[in-house]
């Protein structure tokens, strides 16, 4: 969970003390800061980059659907700003979305299993070459040959035989894709801009130019 605190923004802290901001004004400032973090996370996911501006680590074919899942996780219905008193705010996820988001943010170990009698292959004649769906299935299970080559050279019998002799399960390390957060320099830019506009209504689009 990305956490924003007044103590994390030295210049903003000086301004807060100088102006003797009320608790309500501090909450407004931190809430806006959290919403900036959400906007940045949405930008990172859309542009497939980490908080450091580096490209996301590629995912294997076995987890090809996780990119779409991550795009859904950063929608406003799942990610929110939570106030923690008058001096801290956190950006977090609702329900089980936090579990999935954490696997993206930190990386994870995923276990894949092979069904020895895969119904996808049982539906076809044994001497027939694998169709596209079957070939994709083999690749997802770790069959290290190009799609076109499998469809051209690998029969259903070959596929079933490979499944029977392949190991039943294995663990794949899914690399981290940290999309939630911001550098100290970026947070300082945000805090300066938000403090200058603290009396105005907050609209994320007005600060889009501050997203990295």
Tokens 């542009």 correspond to 47
Angle, alpha carbons 196-197-201 (nearest 5°): 170
Burial profile 174-187: b = 16 or more Cβ within 10 angstroms, e = fewer: beebbbbbbeeebb
Integer Cα distance of 155 and 160 in angstroms: 9
Instruction: Note if the pTM is more than 0.75.
Output: no
90-104, 111-125, 168-182: segment of lowest average pLDDT: 111-125
Band of pLDDT at residue 99, cut at 50, 70 and 90: confident
Cα(60)–Cα(200) distance, rounded to whole angstroms?
Answer: 46
Residue 206 has pLDDT above 60, yes or no: yes
- CA–CA separation, 93 and 101 (whole Å): 8
Mean pLDDT of all residues in 179-190: 88
Distance CA(75)–CA(153), nearest Å, equals 44
User: Which whole number is the average pLDDT over 27-49?
Assistant: 91
Please say whether the beta carbons of 189 and 40 come within 8 A. Answer: no
pLDDT > 80? residue 67: no
CA dihedral 35, 41, 42, 46 (to 10 degrees): 160
- Nearest CA to 114 out of 92, 142, 136 is that of 142
Name the band, by pLDDT with cuts 50, 70 and 90, for residue 166.
Answer: confident
Could you give the percent of the chain with pLDDT greater than 90? 22
At 3, the pLDDT band (50, 70, 90 cuts) reads: very low
Closest CA to 141 of 118, 112, 171, 117: 112
């Amino acid at each position: 969970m990305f956490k924003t605190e007044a103590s994390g923004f030295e210049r903003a802290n000086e301004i807060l003390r100088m102006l003797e901001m009320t608790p309500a004004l501090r909450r407004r400032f931190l809430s806006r800061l959290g919403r900036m973090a959400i906007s940045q996370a949405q930008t990172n996911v859309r542009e497939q980059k980490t908080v450091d501006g580096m490209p996301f680590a590629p995912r294997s074919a076995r987890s090809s659907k996780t990119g779409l899942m991550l795009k859904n996780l950063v929608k406003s219905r799942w990610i929110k700003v939570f106030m923690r008193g008058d001096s801290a705010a956190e950006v977090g996820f609702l329900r089980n979305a936090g579990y999935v988001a954490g696997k993206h943010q930190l990386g994870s170990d995923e276990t894949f299993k092979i069904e020895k009698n895969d119904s996808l292959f049982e539906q076809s004649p044994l001497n027939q070459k694998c169709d596209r769906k079957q070939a994709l299935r083999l690749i997802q299970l770790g069959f290290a040959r190009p799609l076109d080559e499998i469809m051209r050279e690998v029969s259903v019998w070959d596929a079933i035989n490979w499944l029977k002799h392949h190991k039943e399960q294995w663990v794949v390390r899914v690399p981290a894709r940290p999309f939630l957060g911001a550098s100290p320099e970026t947070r300082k830019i945000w805090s300066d801009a938000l403090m200058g506009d603290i009396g105005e209504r907050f609209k994320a689009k007005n600060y889009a130019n501050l997203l990295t």
